Amino acid sequence: MKVFNYLIKIEYVGTKFVGWQYQKNGVSVQEKIEKCFKKILKKKIKVIGAGRTDKGVHAFGQFAHFKIDKRIDDKKKFLNSINFFLNKSLISIIDIKKKNLDFHSRFNAKEREYEYFITNRESSPSINKNKTWHVKKKLNLKLLKKGTKLLEGKHDFSTFRASTCSAKSPIKKINSIKVKKNNEKIYIIFKSRSFLQTQIRSMVGCLQYLSRGKWSLKKFKHVFKSKKRNNCAPLAPSCGLYLKNIKY
């Protein structure tokens, strides 16, 4: 029996989901996609994601692969059919590609790109409600950028690691962190091969303390180098985090 391996690119609003992966306490993005696949392909399909996103986290470019014993010849028809059911849940499959049988969406990933979106103004957001972190106090962009520079490169990120993190080591290499500002909108873009559980939201929480003047740069550096989770600032909310893209 011939088997085919397909890679899909997925976009979703994570607000109503418990995250990417199956969980007992609610509906996940993975579960929703697998149920729709069963409707369209008439068989149970296991969809394996490139990375887990937490409850409330969004994605412009999540990737996943699945194996099936029949070729998908009409990709346009497949995408239209699957999205007919998924779009009601604010999930879209935006691309599908045939890959080699040994391809794995998670293990073959070379770089993951995440973006954290902050709305820095007095009044609460309406259009971007549940899609941004609303910070009222004026943030110092120069301090924010100085903080991100300290985080770039290879370090022990134990301070920013969740107690439930299953990674073998707290040592990661952040390839780059860029800060962009457009009026009251601030975007922090993180690139690395992989991240620890809650690492980005933990770092953003600490960067917010630094840039609003609650911490000095010296204090920020001390917290980072302490490797102690209990020194970390409160997590930035999940609603501001987006999985932007994955490079293979």
The residues assigned a catalytic role are: 54
Beta-carbon contacts of residue 99 (< 8 Å; ≥ 6 apart):
5, 6, 7, 65
d(CA 204, CA 135): 12
Q: Which residue type occupies 26? A: G
Q: Which residue type occupies 246? A: I
15 phi and psi angles, rounded to 5 deg: -50, -45
d(CA 195, CA 130): 23
d(CA 201, CA 159): 12
Radius of gyration of the chain (CA): 19
Cβ atoms 235, 197 nearer than 8 A: no
Q: Which residues pair with 115 in a beta bridge?
A: 189, 242
